[in-house]
């Protein structure tokens, strides 16, 4: 099918709605912030809802000529997805657990099969009868949205604690299911986050959130059958920067409760077999220090906590400490700080450990076996074959095991699960070798040999080298800059942008789009130092890195300078808003042609000045506190909403801005206000569309088919604006 010639992206078929302007102002530190659209914060307002529906109607009218293309893309993407599938089963107690999907069903089904014998390293027996423990499709019946939060099976395997969110607001209700009968017990709690069972399978610990700020500030203890209203409050975190979470050590011996901000934390613990006992502190919190414990019984030293900590440097080291004296004064170093390779994770087992490090921005896995004196032998790396990829520990619930499972994928290789033989003497493969357990099937004629991936290092304006991952289809790639270029970015919270496989991406690659993923500062690709170099007073580096990456990709002829599309979501939407403004201010308004912005954090100043909103106070450690003059000036310099005037009367990219009415992370009014204000400034005919999912939250649609349709909608907009063929 060829692109509909009747569709002209420069002349929308209808006029957009005009939002009422009601000027308000905020004066702070000698500066005045003007806001004409603050009234949109009233979610109950009939005027607001009418306006949002009008925006959706306008977007639908502009996108109407692409409906055939959307359908083509949807079915194309669907053809590359194995609709009926099952995950690799993993052992927990006397059962093997897995998740499967069924063709035509929107949601996963959680199942288990009995283990054939008591040997925890015995293989899975697929002939055992399947037991469905949670069918999310049943939970979703009659609801436009359904998300499952935490899942925890009791140690004896008889009960399932799980939480559900039917709106997208990330407000979860705790349920407990009897796995013998399949019935939910009357025990239920509201606004629940993390959950953990005690060893008796009758006591459950859970966190709850504050009703206004959604900060997880309390930990309760529930006894099965007792009224939830009588649950014991065992910890209340008063500091508004900190959130609470509860979990359990891998060996099952201890309940762990973490209190964490963005830059500091502390852990309390109690024996899992003594759930009514008192909490003990491992080490008190210190500013700019983090630590993450797990536990192992040593034949020589009794119980030891093994702790990954950044107390001596941002790249983390590993120490141990006795469980009966875990304070910092008793910490003994096991793995020293590596100044070049950040230690991102440390997975502890009875006879070995696995260190996840970042080397040149890529994850590596190193296996370290315990010596007889509880020291660790030299690390043995697990090798990976491609220039850019993602690798991470998979589900490893058994503490005393001889194997380690990990996942691997890349921009051209589908997700795979491997089992690495650490110490099993009589295994079919030698010690130190990996066995592929499953690779995600990609039907529809996918051939990985048709695609290539690369990793480049571009120069930021200050000379810093910034990694960029690239993927394209070999036979459609032309180094004469004829290809359209797509650049994705995030760059916040120390989150490493994953370099993974996406079957939906094939719809762009197969039309000749070169796709690049910029690992800009503010992310975590090169450890905490990379994060620190792009946050707070240094946040502008995130945006200038992205602009430099785009310009150098074009200069190196990876893409057509007139056909550059960019995409990002949440803090990545902040990135997009900031770089569009910066490009216009630098007289480069044509740098970006298409912008796909999802749930964008664009109203930085108004949000961060409102301490009652979810996330605000805790995120002072990411963005800064605008009540302080220096932070105020820094944030004001890049806040997209407050700098839109630089786009006045200048060419603007084609923009599709998407949000959800029930978003609890970035409130719907941020993108709505942003679009309304931009409409008062732009004079060109490029489309500016706002689409609001009225039944979802921060992640968009919850059903997998509905979500696929959202991607098809996005790609139809992108392809049309880049003047690419439909098929």
Fold exhibited by the domain 444-561:
Rossmann fold (3.40.50)
The CATH H-level (homologous superfamily) assignment of domain 16-79+572-585+601-727 is Alpha/Beta hydrolase fold, catalytic domain (3.40.50.1820)
pLDDT in tens, 420-476: 999 876 677 777 899 999 999 999 999 999 999 999 999 999 999 999 999 999 999
Catalytic residue among 570, 631, 664, 702: 570
Asked if residue 383 has pLDDT above 80, the reply is yes
Q: Is the pLDDT of residue 639 over 90?
A: yes
Q: Are 304 and 320 in contact (CB under 8 A)?
A: yes
Q: Enter the pTM of the model.
A: 0.95
How would you label 237-266 residue by residue, b for 16+ Cβ within 10 Å and e otherwise?
beebbbbbbbbbbbbbbbbbbbbbbbbbbb
Catalytic: which of 80, 663, 664, 702?
Answer: 663
Pairing type for strands 514-518 and 465-473 reads antiparallel
- Decide if 698 is catalytic: yes
pLDDT digits (tens, 9 = 90+) for 11-43: 555 799 999 999 999 999 999 999 999 999 999
* Residue 501 predicted with pLDDT over 90: yes
Give the model confidence (pLDDT) of 292-306 as tens digits.
Answer: 999 999 877 789 999
| DSSP conformational letter for 327 | S
- How many angstroms separate the CA atoms of 130 and 127, rounded? 9
CATH assignment of 165-289?
Answer: 2.130.10.120
One-letter-per-residue 3-state SS of 85-112: EECCCEEECCEEEEEEECCCCCCCEEEE
For residue 698, the tally of other CB atoms under 10 A from its CB is: 18
DSSP letter at 331 equals -
Q: What is the pLDDT of residue 164?
A: 98
Residue 663 catalytic? yes
pLDDT, residue 692, reads 98
Residues of the chain with CATH 3.40.50.1820: 16-79+572-585+601-727, 444-561
Distances (CA, A) of 189 to 215, 218, 237: 16, 13, 19
Q: Does residue 278 have a pLDDT over 70?
A: yes
Output the pLDDT for position 426: 65
Question: What percent of the chain has a predicted confidence (pLDDT) above 90?
Answer: 92
Inter-CA distances, 594 with 126, 216, 479, 558, Å = 49, 38, 21, 17
261 carries an active-site annotation: no
For residue 690, pLDDT over 70 is answered with yes
Contacts of 169 (CB under 8 A, 6+ apart): 662, 663, 664, 697
Phi and psi angles of residue 718, each rounded to the nearest 5 degrees, phi first: -60, -50
Cα 685 from chain centre? 35
Residue whose token pair is 């992206």: 9
Write down the number of H helices and E strands in the chain. 12, 39
Is-contact 652 645, C-beta < 8 A? no
**Rounded-to-integer distance, Cα 568 and Cα 491, Å:** 10
Rounded Cα distance, 94 and 153, in Å: 11
Q: Where in the sequence of the chain do the CATH 2.130.10.120 domains occur?
A: 165-289
Q: Nearest-5° angle of CA 299, CA 303, CA 307?
A: 115
126-153 pLDDT, tens digit each: 999 999 999 999 999 999 999 999 999 9
Task: Give mean pLDDT, residues 692-706.
Answer: 96
Is the pLDDT assigned to residue 414 strictly greater than 60?
yes
Residue 374: its pLDDT value, please? 86
As a whole number, the mean pLDDT across the chain is 95
Count of CB atoms situated within 10 Å of the CB of 588: 14
Cβ 122 vs Cβ 116: under 8 Å? yes
Residue 2 confidence (pLDDT) above 70: no
Secondary element (H or E) of residue 517: strand 514-518
CA-to-CA separations, 505 to 73, 117, 460, 473, 719, in angstroms, rounded: 11, 43, 27, 11, 13
Helix (H, G, I), strand (E, B) or coil at 469: strand
Mean pLDDT of 574-603: 97
- Block residue for tokens 């939906």: 504
Catalytic member of 216, 698, 702, 714? 698
Q: What are the start-end ranges of the E strands in 552-644? A: 564-569, 594-598
Q: What are phi and psi of 649, to 5 degrees?
A: 65, 15
CA–CA distance, 323 with 306 (Å, rounded to integer): 10
pLDDT above 50 (res 10): no
User: Per-residue pLDDT tens for 58-93?
Assistant: 999 999 999 999 999 999 999 999 999 999 999 999
Residue-by-residue DSSP string for 694-722: TT-BTTB-SSHHHHHHHHHHHHHHHHHHT
3-state secondary structure of 217: strand
Query: Does the pLDDT at position 727 exceed 70?
Result: no
Model confidence at 4, pLDDT cuts 50, 70, 90, reads very low
């Amino acid at each position: 099918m060829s692109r509909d010639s009747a569709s002209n992206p420069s002349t929308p078929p209808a006029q957009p709605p005009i939002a009422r302007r009601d000027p308000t102002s905020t004066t702070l530190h000698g500066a005045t912030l003007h806001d004409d659209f603050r009234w949109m914060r009233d979610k109950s307002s009939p005027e607001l809802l009418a306006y949002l529906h009008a925006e959706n109607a306008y977007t639908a009218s502009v996108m109407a000529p692409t409906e055939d293309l959307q359908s083509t893309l949807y079915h194309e993407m669907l053809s590359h997805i194995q609709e009926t599938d099952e995950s690799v089963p993993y052992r927990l107690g006397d059962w093997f657990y897995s998740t499967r999907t069924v063709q035509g069903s929107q949601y996963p089904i959680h199942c288990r099969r009995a283990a054939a014998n008591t040997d925890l390293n015995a293989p899975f027996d697929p002939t055992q009868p399947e037991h469905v423990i949670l069918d999310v499709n049943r939970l979703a019946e009659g609801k436009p949205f359904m998300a499952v939060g935490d899942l925890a099976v009791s140690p004896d395997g008889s009960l399932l604690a799980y939480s559900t969110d039917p709106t997208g607001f990330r407000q979860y209700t705790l349920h407990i299911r009897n796995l013998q009968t399949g019935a939910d017990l009357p025990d239920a709690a509201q606004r629940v986050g993390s959950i953990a069972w005690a060893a008796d399978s009758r006591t459950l610990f859970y966190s709850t959130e504050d009703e206004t700020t959604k900060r997880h500030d309390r930990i309760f203890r529930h006894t099965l059958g007792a009224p939830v209203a009588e649950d014991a409050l065992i910890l209340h975190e008063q500091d508004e920067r900190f959130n609470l979470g509860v979990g359990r050590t891998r060996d099952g011996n201890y309940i762990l409760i973490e209190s964490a901000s963005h830059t500091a934390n502390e852990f309390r613990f109690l024996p899992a077999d003594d759930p009514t006992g008192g909490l003990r502190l491992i080490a008190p919190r210190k500013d700019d220090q983090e630590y993450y414990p797990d536990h192992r019984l040593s034949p020589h030293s009794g119980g030891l906590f093994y702790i990954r900590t950044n107390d001596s440097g941002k790249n983390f080291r590993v120490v141990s400490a006795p469980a009966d004296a875990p304070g910092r004064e008793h910490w003994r170093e096991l793995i020293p700080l590596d100044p070049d390779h950040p230690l991102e994770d440390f997975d502890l087992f009875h006879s070995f450990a696995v260190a996840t490090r970042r080397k040149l921005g890529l994850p590596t896995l190193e296996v370290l076996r315990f010596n007889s004196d509880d020291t660790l032998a030299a690390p043995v790396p697990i090798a990976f074959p491609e220039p850019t990829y993602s690798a991470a520990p998979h589900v490893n619930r058994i503490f005393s095991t001889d194997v380690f499972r990990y996942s691997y994928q890349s921009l051209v290789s589908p997700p795979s699960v491997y089992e690495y033989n650490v110490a099993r003497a009589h295994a079919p493969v030698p010690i130190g070798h990996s066995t592929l357990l499953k690779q995600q099937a990609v039907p529809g004629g996918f051939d990985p040999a048709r695609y290539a991936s690369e990793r480049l290092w571009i120069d930021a304006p200050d000379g810093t080298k910034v990694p960029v991952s690239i993927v394209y289809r070999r036979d459609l790639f032309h180094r004469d800059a004829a290809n359209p270029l797509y650049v994705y970015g995030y760059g916040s919270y120390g989150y490493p942008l994953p370099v993974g496989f996406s079957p939906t991406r094939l719809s762009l690659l197969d039309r000749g789009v070169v796709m690049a993923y910029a690992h800009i500062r503010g992310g975590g690709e090169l450890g905490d130092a990379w994060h620190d170099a792009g946050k707070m007073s240094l946040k502008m580096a995130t945006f200038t890195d992205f602009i430099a990456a785009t310009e150098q990709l074009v200069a190196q002829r990876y893409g057509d300078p007139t056909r550059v599309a960019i995409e990002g979501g949440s803090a990545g939407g902040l990135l997009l808003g900031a770089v569009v403004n910066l490009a216009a201010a630098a007289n480069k308004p044509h740098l970006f042609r298409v912008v796909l912005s999802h749930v964008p954090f664009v109203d930085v100043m108004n949000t961060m000045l409102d301490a009652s909103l979810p996330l605000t106070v805790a995120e002072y450690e990411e963005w800064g506190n605008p009540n302080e003059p220096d932070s105020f000036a820094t944030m004001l310099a890049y806040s997209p909403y407050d700098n839109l005037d630089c786009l006045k009367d200048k060419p603007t990219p084609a923009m599709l801005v998407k949000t959800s009415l029930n978003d609890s992370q970035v409130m719907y009014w941020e993108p709505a206000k942003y679009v309304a204000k931009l409409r008062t400034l732009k004079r060109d005919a490029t489309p500016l569309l706002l689409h609001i999912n009225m039944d979802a939250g921060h992640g968009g649609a919850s059903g997998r088919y509905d979500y696929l349709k959202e991607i098809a909608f996005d790609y139809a907009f992108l392809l049309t604006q880049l003047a690419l063929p439909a098929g």
